[in-house]
């Protein structure tokens, strides 16, 4: 065996996304102890930067030392107890994972299902809350990675407030890519991931809880079923007290990377980052539609950072993705679940959301489609991209 040296890829799938070289450099800095005063100072800065990214003043804001799926589990295991009822709005894969978490907590999941590729129906969600007056929470995905759909968080959180229950939001793919206002929208519990629009390495999950949600955690009747994810314990390490208590060995260098990632986001400005993702999406849209591909999500609810496109039956999904990867070092994503084999998921997340990547994707995808016999005009598609940027 020899040292592993990965190929250099352009990552335009559903995640991870391309990592900014500044973040890779941050990973290589000297490792210090996770209770070192210098490290604790960096932790405090990371927490403040996360609050700014989430647009919240929540004291209980921190990165969980594990990927976004652990952030999801952190939220559900800390807020739920056996016998609780939760309304789950599902319109893709990750609503289904919410259901799994609820049931593993011994709680009851009441499902509100919408078609994959469509946004969450607000009226159906309200009917479920009306029918379940003792629901403890309503949970939903802001940016559904499996379909490229955005849901109306503000309206759904408004329902949670109206029916006096908690709101739980999956923001794994939305944080840093589209508008997200935790305090203004009244979000009680939210989790995200570092490997999407933050363009950091995988392995951390930012979470934030309102004071109302934090009080639910403090006043639990039973212990959190996961010792590692029990926030009553973890906050002894991530809390604001000067003396930090040991809970687990934090992923020191990964936290350097997250700190750098959040600094980059702060330097760009949240609104500028949202605008950049939107512009590059419009350019990609123009190019792909000129190639003859169709977007499966209505324009009003499309995610700029995760583009789900269908392709003709004559095109072989795996062959195209394999050619892009092996011939051009470009990764795009396959469809998941009900959409497997019928769509590609093309990411424009974080550092990967740039003009060069849009032009690369449109041109080389056009070449591969032409090789499969699809009548495409690659030069016309590239010109359509250029027209968006020139406007």
H, E, C per residue of the chain: CCCCCCCCCEECCCCCCCCCHHHHHHHCCCCCCCCCHHHHHHHHHHHHHHHHHHCCCCCEEEEECCCHHHHHHHHHHHHCCCCCEEEEEECCHHHHHHHHHHHHCCCEEEEEECCCCCCCCHHHHHHHHHHCCCCCEEEEECEECCCCEECCHHHHHHHHHHCCCEEEEECCCCCCCCCCCHHHHCCCEEECCCCCCCCCCCCCEEEEECHHHHHHHHCCCCCCCCCCCCHHHHHHHHCCCCCCCCCCCCCHHHHHHHHHHHHHHHHHCHHHHHHHHHHHHHHHHHHHHHHCCEECCCHHHECCCEEEEECCCCCCHHHHHHHHHHHHCEECEECCHHHCCCEEEEECCHHHCCHHHHHHHHHHHHHHHHHCCCCCCHHHHHHHHHHHHHC
Q: What residues have CB less than 8 Å from 154, skipping those under 6 apart?
A: 181, 184, 185
Q: Counting Cβ atoms within 10 Å, is residue 285 exposed (0-12), middle (13-18) or buried (19+)?
A: buried
Q: What residues have CB less than 8 Å from 373, skipping those under 6 apart?
A: 314
pLDDT digits (tens, 9 = 90+) for 153-209: 999 999 999 999 999 999 999 999 999 999 999 999 999 999 999 999 999 999 999
Q: What is the pLDDT of residue 41?
A: 94
User: For the domain bounded by 21-267, which CATH number is listed?
Assistant: 3.40.640.10
Give me the mean pLDDT over the 327-351 stretch: 96
Q: What is the pLDDT of residue 55?
A: 98
Give me the mean pLDDT over the 104-133 stretch: 97
Q: What is the pLDDT of residue 236?
A: 85
Residue 243 has pLDDT above 80, yes or no: no
Other beta carbons within 10 angstroms of residue 293's beta carbon come to 25
Angle at alpha carbon of residue 116, lines to 97 and 188, rounded to 5°: 50
Q: What is the pLDDT of residue 178?
A: 98
CA distance 126 to 121: 9
Class of domain 270-390: alpha beta
- Residue 189: phi and psi, rounded to 5, are -145, 135
CA distance 133 to 137: 11
pLDDT bin (cut points 50, 70, 90) of residue 241 is low
Q: What is the pLDDT of residue 237?
A: 85
Domain limits, the chain: 21-267, 270-390
CA distance 200 to 313: 36
Mean pLDDT, all residues of the chain: 96
Angle at alpha carbon of residue 295, lines to 157 and 18, rounded to 5°: 75
pLDDT digits (tens, 9 = 90+) for 268-313: 999 999 999 999 999 999 999 999 999 999 999 999 999 999 999 9
CA distance 122 to 312: 32
Angle at alpha carbon of residue 211, lines to 350 and 197, rounded to 5°: 5
């Amino acid at each position: 065996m020899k040292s592993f040296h990965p190929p250099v890829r352009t990552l335009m799938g559903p995640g991870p996304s391309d990592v900014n070289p500044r973040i890779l450099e941050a990973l290589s800095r000297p490792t210090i102890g996770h209770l070192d005063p210098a490290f604790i100072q960096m932790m405090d800065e990371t927490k403040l930067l996360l609050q700014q990214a989430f647009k919240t003043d929540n004291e209980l804001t921190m990165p969980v030392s594990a990927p976004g799926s652990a952030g999801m589990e952190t939220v559900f295991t800390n807020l739920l107890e056996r016998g609780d009822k939760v309304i789950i709005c599902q319109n893709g894969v990750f609503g289904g994972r919410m259901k799994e978490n609820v049931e593993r907590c011994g709680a009851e999941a009441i499902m509100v299902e919408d078609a994959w590729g469509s946004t969450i129906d607000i009226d159906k969600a309200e009917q479920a809350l009306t029918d379940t007056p003792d629901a403890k929470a309503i949970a939903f995905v802001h940016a559904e990675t499996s379909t490229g759909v955005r849901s109306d968080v503000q309206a759904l959180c408004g329902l949670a407030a109206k029916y006096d229950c908690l709101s739980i939001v999956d923001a794994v793919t939305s944080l840093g890519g589209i508008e997200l206002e935790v305090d203004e929208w009244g979000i009680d519990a939210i989790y995200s991931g570092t490997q999407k629009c933050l363009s950091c390495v995988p392995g951390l999950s930012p979470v934030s809880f309102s004071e109302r949600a934090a009080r639910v955690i403090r006043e639990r009747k039973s212990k959190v079923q996961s010792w590692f994810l029990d926030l009553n314990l973890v906050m002894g390490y991530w809390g604001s007290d000067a003396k930090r208590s040991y809970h687990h060995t934090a992923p020191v260098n990964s936290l350097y990377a997250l700190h750098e990632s959040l600094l980059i986001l702060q330097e760009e400005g949240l609104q500028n980052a949202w605008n950049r993702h939107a512009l590059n999406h419009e350019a990609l849209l123009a190019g792909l539609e000129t190639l003859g591909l169709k977007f499966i999500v209505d324009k009003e609810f499309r995610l700029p950072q995760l583009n789900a496109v269908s392709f003709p039956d004559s095109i072989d999904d795996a062959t195209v993705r394999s050619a892009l990867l092996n011939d051009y070092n470009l990764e795009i994503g396959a469809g998941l679940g009900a959409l497997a084999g019928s769509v590609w998921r093309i990411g424009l997340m974080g550092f990967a959301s740039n003009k060069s990547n849009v032009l690369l994707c449109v041109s080389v995808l056009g070449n591969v489609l032409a090789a499969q016999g699809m009548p495409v005009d690659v030069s016309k598609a590239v010109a359509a991209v250029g027209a968006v940027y020139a406007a």
